[in-house]
Amino acid sequence: MPHDMPLREIPDEHLERMDALRGDTPRVEFVRRALKEVLFPERPRDDELPFGIEPVIDGNGTVPFTFVDLFAGIGGFRCGLTAVGGRCVKTYEWDRWAVKTYKHWYGVDEEEVTEGDFTEIDPAGIPDHDVLAAGFPCQPFSLAGVSKKKSLGRLHGFDDPDQGNLFFAICRAIEAKEPPVVFLENVKNLTTHDRGNTWRVIESSLVDRGYHIFSQVIDASGWVPQHRERIFIVAFRKAIFGPDKDQIGFRFPDPPAERPLGVRQFRDILEPEPVPEKYRLSDRLWQYLQDYKEKHRKAGNGFGYGIADLNGVSRTMSARYHKDGSEILIQPDPGENPRRLTPR
């Protein structure tokens, strides 16, 4: 078998031969052992990852793979998958500012990134790949997004005409390309939205297309200084990994019980003081936020601003942060008005 053959292209006769040889060894583990001594054709360069993130490839049985990055945003999936040996073959994102940031961070050319509406893309034209990665828009399913849409009398979830149908665009891509692995991410509310019906649709859509499903809600605060609970879905194609889900041997990483030494605290990522005054709250806005929080405190809920613990982790940053930054405020000096985060 050629050393650079993507997993998706392993011919059926090779799979049948492996099944005859592997005995009780799970197919995925047999493939891993067979390729364990394969050297990576090119180690990812440090400058391919933003902020000096180091690749974690150790040659310890990891198989090189290709992936596509759907609804890519500014490249969170690409950062992680490149760090473990992945090579991105195509990126799709509709927001022009996100695309500009993505290109700047990863130095990709115009041909690799398609800017536009993914629902209008012919999925047959997506390059072949081993992993389909997609952080499809979460606003139709998030607690904040659903509450806002309900208050405005708008549809949410799969009924959202603009964003709710993007999961089905992913399904069309899966049908067209049959990737060995599908890797999805969304808000944890995905499992409970519409009394669990949304999750049942997602799970059955993947199972019906021939995949074993693994899912777990993970809080990123075990690794970065921000609370960010998200559901991760990893799906393995049965035709490649075998019919027995238990034989795949996949498990999600366990978050550390305590933040390990060397993991950055919130203060470690901040721009040094002093920062431009435009990021500091005006007296009027600061008073408004204090009054707003007090009103909700009396009503018995926890809505309101949050002063970040500089020696710990921050709240979850929302898409509306640019409006007032109230969920993550920095106040090095209690005698001064707090400030917002500054863009990197």
So which residues are the catalytic ones? 138
What residues pair up with 181 in beta bridges, in sequence order? 131, 236
Amino acid 319 reads A
CB atoms closer than 10 angstroms to residue 138: 20
The encoded tokens of residue 322 equal 């640019």
Burial 200-225 (b: 16+ CB within 10 A, else e): eebbebbeeeebbbebeebebbbeeb
Strand order in the sheet with 211-219: 113-115, 86-93, 65-70, 131-134, 181-187, 229-237, 211-219
CB-CB contact of 341 with 325 (8 Å) = yes
